[in-house]
A and B are shown apart, each in its own frame.
Chain A
Amino acid sequence: MKIQLLQLCHARSGDKGDVGNVGLIARKPEYYPLMEKYVTAEAVKKHFEGICSGKVDRYPIPNLHAINFLLHNSLGGGGTVSLKLDAQGKTLSSALLRMTIDVEETITV
């Protein structure tokens, strides 16, 4: 079944230079294994095509049922150099929540 991350997760994002960080957090602990399994660095990189031109680092934080993603070269140069409206990547979080994953498991949300 296809499911949008917005239903499974919440998120917060910010910046460090030209790197956007998105912390993706499970709404319920039982959703975390799905995040672990399906929200891979490759999938996130593909989702952010046209926004993230660098690599995507992925750091699982199982104790918080969360995964931290670092999106390199995503903020138009970062800081005050960037001409982007969202130069600090504050809305990368909700952009990731738009992502849809196709899961084998049957889940009710």
Chain B
Amino acid sequence: MKDTIRVASGQGFWGDLQSAPFDQVTKGPIDYLMMDFLAELTMSILQKQKQRNPEMGYARDLVSIIDHILPVIVEKNIRVVTNGGGVNPMACRDAIFRCAEKRGIRGLKIGVVSGDDILGRLDTLRDRDIHLDNMETGEPFGEKKHRFQSANVYFGARPIVEALEKGAQIVITGRSTDTALTYAPMIHEFGWAWDDWDKLAAGVVAGHILECGGQATGGNYAADWRSVPDLAHLGFPIAEAYPDGEIVITKHEDSGGLVTVDSVSEQLMYEIGDPSVYITPECIADFTSIHLAQEGKDRVKISGVRGKPGTQFYKVSMSYSDGYNAVGTLTYAWPDALEKAKKADEILRTRLADQGLHFDEIRTEFLGYNACHGPIARAPDVVNEVVLRVGVRSHDHRAVEQFGKAIAPLILTGPPAVTGFAGGRPKPNDVVAYWPALLPKEAVRPQVLVTHN
């Protein structure tokens, strides 16, 4: 068993800093690179892509990133764990194999974790009396009201550990929890037992810190953003893990950013609910037990983490089509910028009403004035300019289309000193609504396949 392993974060979301993974594998020693690509609604976008082309449905950025780092990770024997496989991890694997072939790399072992995609099984589950009711709104699943576009189970570390045990150098999953990408390597390397709750929970905490990339190392740093060195070359976090469950969060020396108790605390607070009940498929971590200490420059030690057994359920992320939306903007300049923007909004709403169009919602915001903080914002003495931003949502496609056509005319038929109408008419977008649910664990089984080229 190794004395320590270093798991590095390479992507915090699909579209994150493209240079980060290469920096992580080249600027210092690491054993594992984890990359998170999936937000709650990414899977529905990927399902659409796969419907159009059966070869698609995964994070294409992942393939170009792997192509770039492949010679380095093969030479240094760095292993990669990522959920960028989306709804088509097999096609993603094949695309990576093609990169390997092109580079003359043979014998590359890739593990694929699948079985999370239950879209095709929803009716069967319903027939078996398994109800995927909306866990946030309580809306019942049984009514077949919605046509679901995606349905994915959040698997945890178990199938990833299995793929690592079978020798995979790259593990590609579908919908895995973000945290599992970090703690699976720790379980694999240190042989932590599946009921060693405190150690598993320590791994989960490390995973939560790594899953948003640079947000733990000085990105979005509210404590003192001016003090963050060289954000342009921000180093992403690295979890240095020890067999006893101790974790040190750090980053490569030759990189920007910082690792402080404040930077780690901020990330710990990100998107959590009840801090004593952080649920994962393998355990429940208690964030009220975490002890943080600055151990050295850019080194924060995490200790004392307590965990307890997980639940009988997997979380399921589903999505369904819920109408259309569009957003249009216009910019009004001094004098009376805000007053003019408000008048333009009024004119726009009158014209839409004149057409008898039905909208579920019309929302107006004034950017530069109070769009972010609303009624909490302090009104400035003089508004030099303001962006009028109007958004609409409707199940009537035509209504949203007509809204798009009603923005530009305001330039010549509304209040003066208006500009910033660029990019043409706002087009209707599909609104995809989110439906989280719980599924009994025995109803589904992850599949693990490790192959080499």
A interface list, Cβ under 8 A from B: 10-12, 14-19, 21, 23-25, 27, 47-51, 57, 59, 61-66, 68, 70, 76-81, 83-86, 91, 93-95, 97-98
9 inter-chain pairs at a CB distance below 8 angstroms, sorted by A residue, are A11-B222, A21-B270, A68-B269, A79-B41, A79-B433, A83-B363, A86-B372, A91-B373, A98-B373
- Is B375 in the interface zone, CB < 8 Å from A? yes
A80 near B272: Cβ-Cβ < 8 Å = no
Distance between Cα atoms of A81 and B265 in the complex (Å): 30
Known contacts A62-B288, A64-B290, A76-B363; is-contact A83 B433 (Cβ 8 Å): no
Is B271 part of the contact surface with A, judged by Cβ < 8 Å?
yes
CA distance A66 to B290 in the complex (A): 12
Other-chain residue from B269, B325, B433 in contact with A23 (beta carbon distance below 8 A) = B269
Which B positions have Cβ atoms within 8 angstroms of A? 40-41, 136, 220, 222-224, 262, 265-276, 287-292, 304, 322, 325, 327, 361, 363, 365, 367, 371-376, 378, 389, 391-393, 431-434, 436
In the assembled complex, the Cα of A50 lies from the Cα of B390 at a distance in Å of: 18
Chain B, Cβ-Cβ closest to A26: B265
Contact flag A80-B361 (CB < 8 Å), given A14-B271, A17-B136, A48-B376: no
A64 B292 Cβ-Cβ under 8 A: yes
Q: Which residues of A contact B374 (CB under 8 A)?
A: 50-51, 95
In the complex the two chains form, is B265's CB within 8 Å of A17's CB? no
For B275, list chain A residues within 8 Å (CB).
59, 61, 68
Task: Given the known inter-chain contacts A25-B262, A83-B393, please indicate yes or no for A14 contacting B270, CB distance below 8 A.
Answer: yes
Interface of B is mostly: mixed
A80 touches B431 (CB 8 A): yes
Q: Which residues of A contact B289 (CB under 8 A)?
A: 63
What are the residues of chain A within 8 A of B436 when measuring CB–CB? 17
Apart from A12-B269, A21-B270, A64-B287, 17 more pairs, CB < 8 Å: A14-B270, A21-B271, A21-B273, A23-B270, A25-B223, A50-B375, A59-B274, A63-B288, A66-B265, A68-B272, A70-B273, A79-B40, A81-B433, A83-B327, A86-B371, A98-B373, A98-B376
Across the interface, which residues of A come within 8 angstroms of B327, CB to CB?
Answer: 83
Tell me, rounded to whole Å, the shortest Cβ–Cβ distance linking B386 to chain A.
Answer: 13
Closest to B269 in A: A23
Report the number of A-B residue pairs with Cβ-Cβ less than 8 Å.
129
Chain B min CB distance to A30 (Å): 15
Instruction: State the majority secondary structure of interface residues on A.
Output: mixed
> Nearest 8 pairs between A and B by C-beta?
A23-B269, A83-B391, A14-B271, A50-B375, A83-B363, A91-B372, A10-B222, A10-B223
A105 to chain B, nearest CB (A): 23
Distance between A10 CB and nearest chain B CB, rounded to angstroms: 4
Taking each of A19, A27, A84, which has the highest tally of chain B beta carbons within 10 Å of its own beta carbon? A84
Residues of A within 8 A of B266 (CB): 10-12, 23, 25
List of A residues within 8 angstroms of B373 by Cβ = 91, 94-95, 98
In the bound complex, do residue A63 and residue B291 qualify as a contact, i.e. CB atoms below 8 Å apart? Answer: yes
A64 B268 Cβ-Cβ under 8 A: yes
Query: Which among B41, B273, B325, B371 is the interface contact of A16 at CB below 8 angstroms?
Result: B273
Q: Is the CB of A83 within 8 A of B222?
A: no
Contacts of A91 in B (CB 8 A): 372-373
A83-B392 in contact (CB<8A): yes
Contacts of A93 in B (CB 8 A): 222
Closest CB-CB distance, A92 to chain B, in whole Å?
Answer: 9
CA gap between A35 and B100 in the complex, in Å = 55
Does the CB pair B433–A80 fall under 8 Å? yes
> Which residues on A sit within 8 Å (CB–CB) of B391?
83-84
Given A12-B266, A23-B266, A80:B41 Cβ within 8 A: yes
Q: Which A residues lie within 8 Å of B40 (CB)?
A: 79
Cα(A23)–Cα(B274), bound, Å: 11
Is there an interface contact between B267 and A12, defined as CB atoms closer than 8 Å? yes
Q: Is the pair B372, A51 in contact by a Cβ cutoff of 8 Å?
A: no
Residue of B nearest to A87 (CB): B391
How far is A61 from B268 in the complex, measured between Cα atoms in Å?
11
A86 vs B370: C-alpha distance in the bound complex, in angstroms?
A: 11
| Known contacts A66-B265, A79-B433, A83-B325, A16 near B271 by CB under 8 Å | yes
Which residues of the other chain, A, contact B287 by a CB distance below 8 angstroms? 61, 64
The answer on a CB contact under 8 Å between B269 and A95 is: no
The complex places the Cα of A47 from the Cα of B363 at a distance, in Å, of 22
Give the distance in Å from the alpha carbon of A10 to the alpha carbon of B268 in the complex.
13
Q: Which residues of A contact B41 (CB under 8 A)?
A: 79-80
Most chain A beta carbons < 10 A, residue from B268, B276, B365, B436: B268
Q: Output the nearest chain B residue to A97 by Cβ-Cβ distance.
A: B222
* Most-contacted residue by chain A among B224, B266, B325, B392 (CB, 10 A): B266
